[in-house]
Amino acid sequence: MDFKNVIASTLGCAAISFSIFFAACSNASNSNSSDDIETLNSIEEAGECTAEKEGQMYKVPRDTIFDTYACEDGEWVSDFGGYGDYVDPETVVRGSFKDERDGKTYKTVKIGDLTWMAENLNYELDGSRCYDDNPDKCKKYGRLYGYKSVEKTCPAGWKVPIRREWNKLLASIADHSRPEMEYDPYGFNVLLGGSAIGIKTIKYEEEGEKTAYWLSLNIIWSAFKIGEYYPLYTTSTGDPPGSWAYIRCVKN
C-alpha cells in the first residue's frame, strides 16, 4: 500500500474516521482532496493556528508517509496524532484506582502528563452490555456502552477522553506498543474486544480483530476502532447512536 496516498476526511462530524489512509480533521465545508493540500517541510512553517486559519490543512512528510495537519481551536492537530511527544516507557507511572461506586479496582498508567485507566471500564449501568451477552467477556474486556449511556460512565475525577487526548496518547506510544502485546512496555494493554452495532437488534463483531472506544467531542460522542496496529488501520464504527464501544477513562 502506498501510504503517501493520503485521503483527507471530515473528522469534525460525529462519525470519526481514523482510516488506513490517515483521514484528516476538518469541518465538512473545509474538506479537501490530498492533491489540494499544500505540503510543508514542518508544521512550524504554517505559523500560528489562528481563528482566520481555522480548518486550514497542510501535509508534512514523515518517513514514508505524510501527516495531515488541520488548524483546530488554536492548535495544529495531526490525523496521526503526531503533535504528541514520544514518551519513554521507563517514565511511565503505574498505579491503581478504586471506583467507589461498585468497589472495582483498576490499574492506571500515567503516560506523559495524562493518567489513564489501564483497563476498560467495567461499571454496570443501564445501556451497557457484555460482548456476546457473556459475563466472562465483561471480566476480560470490560463493558460495551451505548451512545445514551456514555456521559454516565466515568467515576468522579475521571472523564471520557477527548480526541486530542487519544491522539496524544497514540502519538506517544505507537512506535513501541501494539494491541494484544504480551508485555506492553507502557502497560496500556489494549485488547481487541470487538464492538457491537444496533439499537433493537444487537450485532457483535470483530472480536480479536478490532476494538471500539468512545471519545468526547464536547457536545456529542463519537466512537472509533483500533486494529492490530495503531493509530494506523483504525476505522470509524459508523452511526454513533447505534454503536456500542468500550471506555478508557482519563483523569481530569
User: Quick one: 63 and 145 in the same domain?
Assistant: no
Supply the pLDDT for residue 77.
75
Give burial (CB, 10 Å; 0-12/13-18/19+) of 164: middle
pLDDT at 221: 87
Residue 27 has pLDDT above 50, yes or no: no
Which one is predicted more confidently, 70 or 9? 70
Domain co-membership, 130 together with 246: yes
Domain that holds residue 6: 1-83
Whether 64 and 153 map to the same domain: the answer is no
Predicted TM-score (pTM) of the model is 0.72
Cis omega (within 30 of 0) for bond into 231: yes
93 pLDDT above the threshold of 80: yes
Q: With cut-offs at 50, 70 and 90, classify the pLDDT of residue 234.
A: low
Q: Which residues contact 78 (CB under 8 A, 6 or more apart)?
A: 43, 60, 67, 68, 69, 167, 171
Tell me which of 35, 63, 83 is where a domain ends: 83
Query: 126 and 226, same structural domain?
Result: yes
The pLDDT of residue 236 is 55
Domain boundary among 57, 83, 109: 83
In the chain, how many domains are there? 2
What integer pLDDT is reported at residue 204 of this predicted model? 98
Pair (93, 26) in one structural domain: no
Mean per-residue pLDDT, 98-126: 97
| Same domain, yes or no: 70 and 109 | no
Averaged pLDDT of the chain: 80
Question: What mean pLDDT is predicted for residues 27-34?
Answer: 35
Q: What integer is the mean pLDDT of 81-110? A: 90
Please list the helix, strand and coil fractions of the chain in percent, rounded to the nearest 5, in that order: 20, 30, 50
